[in-house]
Chains A and B, each alone.
Chain A
Amino acid sequence: MFLINCPFCGERDQSEFSSGGEAHIVRPKQPTELSDDEWAEYLFMRKNIKGIQFERWNHVHGCRKWFNVVRDTSNDKILSVYKMGEKPPVNYK
């Protein structure tokens, strides 16, 4: 059970949050211009990394804010937490 440091509320139990999958997948600005394959890439394809992964989390039973998390999925360590719109920390790329 993770302890997640919500950038708005501070450290809270995982049960207050919901996970929103991989982060930094930007919705295409002009979906109609895309081929089926390109749209499917946006819609379905996720990396599911063993190792350092960038994820979206929502403090759904708290401030209801979405934010980003850098997590090492091999040991579940959360390495960094940052707000939506902020640049991802470069040292984990």
Chain B
Amino acid sequence: MPNYRIHKTEYIDETKRVSFKYDGKTYFGYEGDTLASALLANGIHLVARSFKYHRPRGIVSCGAEEPNAICQIGSKKDLTEPNVRATELELYEGLEASSQNCWPNVKFDIGGINNFISPLIPAGFYYKTFMWPKSFWKKVYEPLIRLSAGLGKSPTEPDPDIYDHKHVHYDVLVIGGGVSGIISAKMAAKNNLKTLLVDDKKTLGGSTIYQNNESVKIDDKLSSEWLKNEIQEIKKLSNLTIKTRTSIAAYHGYNFLLAKENLTDHLPEEKKRNKIRQRLWKIRAKKVVIATGSIERPLVFNNNDRPGILLSNSINKYLDYYGVTCGENIILFTNNDSAYETSISLHKKGIKNLIVDLRKSATSELIKQAESLGIKIYFNHVVTNTFGYRKINSLEIMKLSEDGNTTVGDKIKLSCDCLGMSGGWTPMVHMHTQSGGKLNFRDDDQVFLPKENSEDQISVGSCNGDFDLENVIDKTVNKINKFLDIDNQDYQDTNIICSKENDKRNIWLLPNKIPLGKTKCFIDFQNDSTAKDIKLALKEGFRSIEHVKRYTTTGMATDQGKLSNMHALGIIADTAGVKMGSLGTTTFRPPFTPLTFGTLVGRNVGKFFEVVRKTSIHEWHVENNAEFENVGQWKRPWYYPKNGENMHDAVQRESKAARESSGILDASTLGKIDIQGTDASEFLNRVYTNAWSKLAIGKCRYGLMLNEDGMVYDDGVTTRISENHYLMTTTTGGAANVLSKLEDYLQTEWPELDVYLTSVTDHYSTASICGPNSKKILNKLFPNLDLSDENFPHMSFKEAKLENINCRIMRISFTGELSYEINIESKYGHSLWKMCIEAGKEFNLTPYGTETMHLLRAEKGFIIVGQDTDGTMTPSDLQMDWIVSKKKYDFIGKRSLYRSDTIREDRKQLVGLLTDDPKEILEEGAQIVSDVKSKPIDMLGHVTSSYFSPNLNKSIALAVVRSGKTIKGQKLIIPMEHKNINVTVSDTIFFDRENKRLNA
């Protein structure tokens, strides 16, 4: 097996050999490797097939910007992870990784045929091709495209890993642990500011930490040695927290940032177990220092995507940090000085290399150093083509014309096994722009830079466009002193010597003798968009960068265009003849690198996903086999199946029992608001549609609450307990919103009212007993209470004692039966319920759930707000005009009830529906029409509630239908998938129209 690990470094522990599997084959690396460096050490460059053309692709970079080396980790259904960048994944014993987007394997991939038919797949191919015939989209095109689209495979089972969230507050957050970040953190922490330094890598130091060129010296030391010393020093600072393997995902307003800390992704399987995998940090910082550095740019020339073509600086890092060389005969193609550092490093390790430089000449210290070492430099030359299928084996270069627009002279063919490219550097302004910052364009080296630094945020180092080390350190120190309003003298006497770049030349799309249409000059490696695609988009009339981006998909892959956006912009600017700075950039959106869903949700999974509210009687329901329904956060008994009953049978039995003898419902979840104060009656007058002033003490009244737009908002019964004291009930789901709404009016519109509101929903438990035998059961529970209709009529309230405990009893009914609601302090709720059950035994007291409650009230035509209403129903639409006071001067929503729209007669109105076949049960939500032949079919409304009534022995339904009030008796049709159901419009009250049963 070839070994490209050619020297020892302090970052690779050669005593700790690590075995891993890649595409099923076992390889070895060392602790400290990334998957990418370990693969390169084994001579593996080819790691992927490109997305569209399935071209062989290799590792390009050494960091978050990697477009090609993304792989599938693991193969377990619950733990496999797609789209992991091999350049960021630290190697661990037992790691299993595989390449994506290829079949049968990365070396021989059937999809590679796309490369040969690529002239047929231009930009916008899918938009243009799969339009016709229209009917093919759903059955033919979409399934086929879906089959071949996508990169990795999602896990198919729940994620078993543990994730965590942490909230922190700091005076200063420093993002990035390179030289400028370390200086900033040290200055902040030494000046008594509580500081957090985060870096996405395992070790601090950025790119300076492996810098070993003799021309760069700080205080007479190699810059890497100097920096190591600085790192040792900051580790001693007590008010500095350093988090490595931690990357900022998002920078929101008010210096609120999200960071992902990687805790176990670098550990072998057995050490990961039962540990928190990743932690999401929610950081509030008074001040933020952005020191995120810059990313090297590729160059755009024909066939610039072959395996073995990497960014020049990445070759340098693999060599000096990981001890791995990317080839044995390397060519560096550059337009700036930084490739010379790589060249000199390679030369020192004995790796043959030469340089092709766009620039006509260059004169800095680095270039002189390279020249003196005898490194061959082709100035004013450009790479025009590369060769080699699975890995580069040679390339052609040509001389550039004077203006750089074309090539001249003869082709020179050079052999190589690796090509490093350097198109200059792009400052990572993502964090600055995510926080709302704007950008300026610097023409000199064609970079976008943070426009202004605000008082709570600053960019330093190369993300601010300061490239050479002297510039970086001097400017960082000055800016941080000013930004933090401190006077730190630590770097006053630091002596920095470094090479200064004097010559610049950039060409976004390099010239070539071959017509552009026949070249493959890749811009976005991951989404396979080429310079040709960008030009085509411009030719077809796209101008905005946002449109070109979407049409060509440039910059829309998982790497979010970290390597491609600038080139796309440059080519657009050049082609359209506009200044690049005037084009602006596309929007940088969080997250900076992909996040797992697990990290985002943290511990809020499974039973912690949402708050669950249970009544004090819940355990009894569980013991008695209840099925539960979620109503808001509440768990409510839905029905109580007996002896294997299905839901229908259980509900029929419960409903019959409630009407024939007695039933009991846990009504504790209804919202309860305690209202007190001298203006309580006036307040109720204003919030309900009906009048309240004359409600006698000890009486109850049903009320309908509207929004200011006249639409029904909530309903419920309110009881006058004493002169200035009411107890309001609301719907279960509406309780919190009603309280908020009432508080809003009290605090903002009517602060003069003397009213106090308290939510007492959780304070009382409620057992509601209904049915003809309910009075007998009550009598057994409260033998001293006079239950006669004279003393305790319908819609009234009594206080009574159950043994020694006070109860509030309301005689109110939602079922149409004689009915009592017993309220007791929640801690006694369970006992009360059991006593009721015990007392009711001889009367077949049957517990019933929400489904039976809904059925019973539907028989009576009582609405459920939120089921029969949807925020567009007025009281009149509900045929409830009787509850709207004509006398009251004002109440919430009154004026809206006679707006031109609310008095329309063809509004949807509540009606009853009876099916022609009494056994046919309608589906709730089903559409209602009068004519199925005309097209388009005129929709008249929809079914809101539907049940089979055991007490009427037929199907009943409520519905909202256009002009419903005026069409009683009319025949309508419910069109279903396989049949049409005939119905007749009826009254909304199906059962006991005379309300005789209330006093039965």
Residues of A within 8 A of B (CB): 1-3, 13, 18, 20, 26-28, 30-32, 34, 36, 39-40, 43, 56, 58, 60, 64-66, 75-76, 84-85
Chain B residues near A76 (CB-CB < 8 A): 253-254, 436
CA distance A54 to B253 in the complex (A): 19
A1-B254, A34-B895, A76-B253 given as contacts; is B744 within 8 A of A85 (CB)? no
Q: Taking the nearest CB of chain A, how far is it from the CB of B526, in angstroms?
A: 31
Least CB separation from B250: chain A residue:
A1
Q: Taking the nearest CB of chain B, how far is it from the CB of A39, in angstroms?
A: 5
Chain A residues near B629 (CB-CB < 8 A): none
A31-B894, A36-B900, A76-B253 given as contacts; is B284 within 8 A of A3 (CB)? yes
Give B700-724 interface residues, CB cut-off 8 Å to A: 708-709
Interface centre among A1, A39, A56 (most CB of B within 10 A): A1
Chain A residues near B899 (CB-CB < 8 A): 36, 39-40
CA distance A1 to B282 in the complex (A): 11
User: Contact between B890 and A31 (Cβ–Cβ < 8 Å)?
Assistant: yes
- Per a CB cutoff under 8 Å, which of A27, A31, A43, A66 touches B709? A43
Q: Is B492 an interface residue (CB 8 A)?
A: no
Chain B residues near A75 (CB-CB < 8 A): 436
User: Contact between B748 and A66 (Cβ–Cβ < 8 Å)?
Assistant: yes
Q: Taking the nearest CB of chain A, how far is it from the CB of B893, in angstroms?
A: 9
Chain A residues near B256 (CB-CB < 8 A): 1, 3
13 A-B pairs, CB-CB below 8 angstroms? A1-B254, A3-B284, A28-B895, A31-B895, A32-B890, A32-B895, A34-B895, A43-B708, A43-B709, A56-B748, A60-B740, A64-B743, A75-B436
Q: Is B747 an interface residue (CB 8 A)?
A: yes
**B: interface residue count bin:** 20 to 34
User: Contact between A39 and B895 (Cβ–Cβ < 8 Å)?
Assistant: yes
CA distance A20 to B749 in the complex (A): 13
A39-B895, A39-B899, A85-B751 given as contacts; is B889 within 8 A of A32 (CB)? yes
A1-B252, A1-B256, A2-B253 given as contacts; is B894 within 8 A of A84 (CB)? no
Q: Taking the nearest CB of chain B, how far is it from the CB of A57, in angstroms?
A: 11
Chain B residues near A40 (CB-CB < 8 A): 899
B874-918 near A? 1/0 per residue, CB < 8 Å: 000000000000000110001110011000000000000000000
Chain B residues near A27 (CB-CB < 8 A): 708, 749
CA distance A25 to B744 in the complex (A): 13
Least CB separation from B709: chain A residue:
A43
Chain B residues near A43 (CB-CB < 8 A): 708-709, 896
- Per a CB cutoff under 8 Å, which of A3, A64, A66, A85 touches B254? A3
User: Contact between B894 and A32 (Cβ–Cβ < 8 Å)?
Assistant: yes
Q: Taking the nearest CB of chain B, how far is it from the CB of A79, in angstroms?
A: 13
Q: Taking the nearest CB of chain A, how far is it from the CB of B129, in angstroms?
A: 41
B245-268 near A? 1/0 per residue, CB < 8 Å: 000000011101000000000000
Least CB separation from B284: chain A residue:
A3
CA distance A18 to B739 in the complex (A): 14
Q: Taking the nearest CB of chain B, how far is it from the CB of A35, in angstroms?
A: 10
With contacts A31-B890, A32-B890, A84-B748 known, what are 16 further pairs, Cβ within 8 A?
A: A1-B252, A1-B253, A1-B254, A2-B254, A3-B284, A26-B749, A31-B894, A32-B894, A40-B899, A43-B896, A56-B748, A60-B740, A64-B743, A66-B748, A76-B253, A84-B747
Chain B residues near A84 (CB-CB < 8 A): 747-748, 751
Chain A residues near B896 (CB-CB < 8 A): 39, 43
Q: Taking the nearest CB of chain B, how far is it from the CB of A54, in angstroms?
A: 13
Least CB separation from A29: chain B residue:
B890
CB contacts between A and B, total, < 8 Å: 52
Chain A residues near B890 (CB-CB < 8 A): 30-32
Chain A residues near B743 (CB-CB < 8 A): 64, 66
Q: Taking the nearest CB of chain A, how far is it from the CB of B438, in angstroms?
A: 11
Chain B residues near A13 (CB-CB < 8 A): 284
7 tightest Cβ-Cβ pairs between the two chains A and B: A31-B895, A1-B256, A66-B747, A3-B254, A27-B749, A76-B253, A1-B252
CA distance A39 to B751 in the complex (A): 22
Q: Taking the nearest CB of chain B, how far is it from the CB of A7, in angstroms?
A: 13
Give B841-894 interface residues, CB cut-off 8 Å to A: 889-890, 894
CA distance A18 to B736 in the complex (A): 13
Interface centre among B284, B709, B748, B900 (most CB of A within 10 A): B748
B196-212 near A? 1/0 per residue, CB < 8 Å: 00000000000000000
Q: Taking the nearest CB of chain B, how far is it from the CB of A3, in angstroms?
A: 5
B734-752 near A? 1/0 per residue, CB < 8 Å: 0000001001100111010
Chain B residues near A3 (CB-CB < 8 A): 254, 256, 284
Least CB separation from A32: chain B residue:
B895
User: Contact between B744 and A20 (Cβ–Cβ < 8 Å)?
Assistant: yes
Chain B residues near A32 (CB-CB < 8 A): 889-890, 894-895
Chain B residues near A28 (CB-CB < 8 A): 895
User: Contact between B895 and A58 (Cβ–Cβ < 8 Å)?
Assistant: no
CA distance A56 to B254 in the complex (A): 19
Chain A residues near B253 (CB-CB < 8 A): 1-2, 76
CA distance A31 to B895 in the complex (A): 6
Chain A residues near B708 (CB-CB < 8 A): 27, 43
Least CB separation from A44: chain B residue:
B709
Least CB separation from B895: chain A residue:
A31
Chain A residues near B751 (CB-CB < 8 A): 84-85
CA distance A39 to B901 in the complex (A): 13
CA distance A40 to B709 in the complex (A): 9
CA distance A55 to B481 in the complex (A): 37
Q: Taking the nearest CB of chain A, how far is it from the CB of B131, in angstroms?
A: 38
Chain B residues near A26 (CB-CB < 8 A): 749
CA distance A36 to B890 in the complex (A): 16
CA distance A67 to B119 in the complex (A): 63
CA distance A88 to B256 in the complex (A): 28
CA distance A34 to B896 in the complex (A): 11
B303-324 near A? 1/0 per residue, CB < 8 Å: 0000000000000000000000
CA distance A28 to B751 in the complex (A): 15
Chain B residues near A85 (CB-CB < 8 A): 751
Q: Taking the nearest CB of chain A, how far is it from the CB of B900, in angstroms?
A: 6
CA distance A50 to B487 in the complex (A): 39
Chain A residues near B894 (CB-CB < 8 A): 31-32
Chain B residues near A66 (CB-CB < 8 A): 743-744, 747-748
Chain A residues near B747 (CB-CB < 8 A): 65-66, 84
CA distance A76 to B899 in the complex (A): 37
Least CB separation from B710: chain A residue:
A43
Q: Taking the nearest CB of chain B, how far is it from the CB of A81, in angstroms?
A: 14
Least CB separation from B901: chain A residue:
A36
Give B576-597 interface residues, CB cut-off 8 Å to A: none
Least CB separation from B749: chain A residue:
A27
CA distance A43 to B711 in the complex (A): 13
Q: Taking the nearest CB of chain B, how far is it from the CB of A58, in angstroms?
A: 7
Chain B residues near A39 (CB-CB < 8 A): 895-896, 899
CA distance A83 to B889 in the complex (A): 30
CA distance A3 to B256 in the complex (A): 9
CA distance A75 to B435 in the complex (A): 10
Chain A residues near B436 (CB-CB < 8 A): 75-76
Q: Taking the nearest CB of chain A, how far is it from the CB of B454, in angstroms?
A: 9
